[in-house]
A and B are shown apart, each in its own frame.
Chain A
Amino acid sequence: MMRLESLWMRAVTLLLVEDDVDDEALMVRVLARRQPALTYHVARNGRDALAYLAQAPSPPQLILLDLQLPRLGGLELLQALRLEPATRLTPVVVFTSSTDRTDVVTAYDLGANSYIFKPVEFQHFSSVLEQLLNYWVELNQPLPPRTDHLRYLS
């Protein structure tokens, strides 16, 4: 029997939008330790993220967004996510090394749910990411799933 799901990109709990391979490796290490396992997809830039979302059967439960991205930056992507009905209310946490106060203010103005500085040292990085996932994925009650089709202009 053919599974309909296989025709689509799989639905994931977490969408990571991250262009730095080292940071991605750190995140994947933290994610790999989690029980129960959490499904995720990594997008390298804003356009990849929109392309993934356009095909995903349902939006993720959380989007973790880096700001310095090639091809459609983090803030532009955030703006696009908030205009799209399917991800208008999806929690977006900016997770970035940018400590620029203007970025913090702009991100919240554009509809980010939270803004966290990415720690440099691994122990700290890992603990912050764990707390972030506990808050948004384990404890926060996700929005009811949408059943209508996603229409992204990517």
Chain B
Amino acid sequence: MPKPKPPILLVEDDEVDVMMVQRAFTRHAVTNPLLVAASGDEALQLLHDPEQQRNLPRLVLFDLNMPRMDGITFLQRLRADPLLQSIVAVAITSSNQERDRLTLFRHHVAGYFVKPVSYEAQQELFGTIARYWMLSQLP
């Protein structure tokens, strides 16, 4: 039996954005299961769930502006965790901040993307990101 496709984890607190990403993946024929966590805490919990260990996500897309744990703290936690430190993590933001970018790249973010305003452009962005990592060999 072929190994199931590794899931993609989306860390996003806005439900409308979650639906937008789901739709983008369907339209771009991204068939990996999409896991959703509404916060950084929830994402870390999910990644540490023993059930998840057998099929750990190898790509995490996270929103920078989240309540409780912001995206930068989430990435720092990921990188400090021996089990999770090599996961490819991509940051999505609605406001482009230079200072954030430096910190994120220092913590080895695999791309920093500004969410476009138009729905079509958002679909295109998420489709491009997911398809790109399918072409790439993951660590």
Contact = CB atoms under 8 A, between A and B. Distances in A.
Interface residues of B, number: 23
B137 A117 contact: yes
B111 A135 contact: yes
- What band does the interface of chain A fall in when counting residues whose beta carbon is under 8 Å from B? 20 to 34
Interface string A97-120: 000000011001001011111000
B102 A116 contact: no
A131 B124 CA distance: 12
A104 B131 CA distance: 19
A113 B102 contact: no
B139 interface: yes
A143 B111 CA distance: 10
B102 A144 contact: yes
Contacts of B111: 113, 135-136, 139-140
B136 A116 contact: yes
A143 B97 CA distance: 10
Contacts of A26: none
Nearest to B99: A144
Interface of A: 89, 104-105, 108, 111, 113-117, 128, 131-132, 134-136, 139-141, 143-144
Interface of B: 86, 88, 96, 98, 101-102, 105-106, 108, 110-114, 125, 128-129, 131-132, 135-137, 139
Rank and list the top 4 A-B pairs by shortest CB-CB distance, nearest first. Answer: A108-B139, A89-B105, A135-B132, A115-B137
25 contacts: A89-B102, A89-B105, A89-B106, A108-B86, A108-B139, A111-B108, A113-B110, A114-B136, A115-B136, A115-B137, A115-B139, A116-B137, A131-B131, A131-B135, A132-B132, A135-B111, A135-B129, A139-B111, A139-B113, A139-B125, A140-B111, A140-B112, A141-B113, A143-B102, A143-B105
